Chain A
Amino acid sequence: MNDFKPQIVAFCCSNCASSAAAVADGMKKTLPDNVKIIQVPCTGRIEILHLLKAFEQGADGVYVAGCQDDSCRYISGIKKAAKRVAGVKRILEEIEMDPERINIFNLCAGQGQRFVEVAYEMINRLKEIGPSPVK
C-alpha cells in the first residue's frame, strides 16, 4: 500500500446514508478523517456543479451515497443523482481525468458496515489512480 491519503468528498443522503453512518457509529466503526461528509436532504438535490466544485477545490475523489433505487424517500432523487454523476464522469473523461474518481453507491439505513466499506472502496480506488492533477 502506498501512503498517499486521498482527500475525498462524500455527498450523503440524510435519510439512508446518514442513518447508516449513525449505525456505523454505534458499531464503533468510524470513517477515516480524509473522507469529508456533506449531508444533503436528498441526493436528487446534488447538482453537477456541486460535484465539480469539489474537484475544482482539489478533491482527489468524490462519491454520492444515497438510497436504493426503489426506496428513495423522494421517489427518484437517487436516479437523478446517478445521471448527474454519469454527467460528471463524461466531463472528467473529456478533460482527460479518470472518470473513476467519482462514483455513486446505493445504501440502506441499517447498513452501517457497508457505509464504512464504500469509503474504503473509494480510498483504495483512488490510491490506485493517484493524486488529483488539479491542485
Chain B
Amino acid sequence: MIVAEPKPIKELLEMVQDFNKILVIGCKGCVTVCNVGGLKEVGILASTLKIARKKDGREIEVGEHVLERQCDPEYIDEVKDIIDDYDAVISLACGVGPQFLSERYPSARIFPGVNTKFMGGAVEHGVWSERCAGCGQCVIHYFGGLCPIARCSKSLMNGPCGGSSHGKCEISDDVDCIWDIIVRKMMAQGRLDELVKFRPPKSWTTARDGGPRKMVREELVI
C-alpha cells in the first residue's frame, strides 16, 4: 500500500485559515488501511477543525465525505454536486488523490491533508516499513526476493558497503542492513554463488530518472 502520515493540525489550520466552509474527503483505499485517511480519520479531522475554530471564536462548517478511491476518475466524480458548496477541500488520500481532485475540479481549492511517505506495509500494528521504490523493472529475484533499491540506504546493487555492522545499517541502529539479510538468506538457500553472477547494469529509464511515468495497456483502453 501507499503509506502516509497525518499532517500536523497546525499546518492544516494555517492552510485553510482563510476558508470557512471546508470539505474533508477521505479515501477507502491505502490510507484507510494505514489509518490516516479513512472514515474514522475524516471524522477526527473534521471534529478537530471545529474545536480549533470554535476555540478562536470563528465559525466553520466542515463537510465529510469518503470516496471508494481517489485515484479513479469515476469515484472522483461522486463529489461533483457538493464540491462547489465549499470554499476549500482537504484530501486525506495519498498525494495522488488531491491531484485527481485538482484536475477534475479546476476551480476548487484543494489541500493535501497527509504527508505521503512510501510504498510498504505494516510490519506490526502501528508500524509501517518501506518495501518498494517503484523502479519500474523489478529485480528482487536476484536478491533472495528482497529489494536493495528500496531497502539499502544507498540502493547498492552489488553487496553491502563498509558501513554494515552486526546486521545494522550505518545510518541508524533502527535500520536493518538489507544486504546482511540478503546474503544470509542466499547462504541459507545454498545460492550464494548467484550473487556473483554477472548482470548488465540496471536501466534506470523505467524509474523516475526517465521523467514522469505513464502506462498504457491497449487491451484495457476503451
Question: What residues of chain A have their CB less than 8 Å away from a CB belonging to chain B?
Answer: 47-49, 52-53, 55-56, 91, 94-97, 133-135
Contacts and interface: CB of A to CB of B under 8 A. Distances in A.
Contacts of B56: 133
Nearest to B9: A94
B9 A47 contact: no
Nearest to A87: B44
A105 to B, nearest CB: 23
A56 B9 contact: no
B9 A91 contact: yes
Interface stretch (B18-26, B47-55, B187-195): B47-55
Contacts of B13: 95
Given A47-B40, A49-B40, A49-B43, A91 B54 contact: no
A95 B8 contact: no
20 contacts: A48-B44, A49-B43, A49-B47, A52-B44, A52-B51, A56-B47, A56-B50, A56-B51, A56-B54, A91-B9, A91-B48, A94-B8, A95-B9, A95-B13, A97-B51, A97-B55, A133-B54, A133-B56, A134-B54, A134-B55
B40 A95 contact: no
Interface residues of B, number: 15
B47 A52 contact: yes
B55 A94 contact: no
A48 B41 CA distance: 9
A95 B50 contact: no
A84 to B, nearest CB: 11
Interface in B2-60: 8-10, 13, 40, 43-44, 47-48, 50-52, 54-56
Contacts of B54: 56, 133-135
A95 B54 CA distance: 11
Contacts of B43: 49
Contact of A133 (B8, B9, B47, B55): B55
B115 to A, nearest CB: 15
A97 B50 CA distance: 13
A9 to B, nearest CB: 14
Contacts of A133: 54-56
Which 9 residue pairs are nearest across A and B when measured between Cβ atoms?
A95-B52, A52-B47, A94-B9, A133-B55, A134-B54, A49-B43, A134-B55, A56-B47, A56-B51
Contacts of B50: 56
Given A56-B51, A134-B55, 8 more contacts: A48-B40, A49-B43, A52-B47, A55-B51, A91-B9, A95-B55, A96-B55, A133-B55
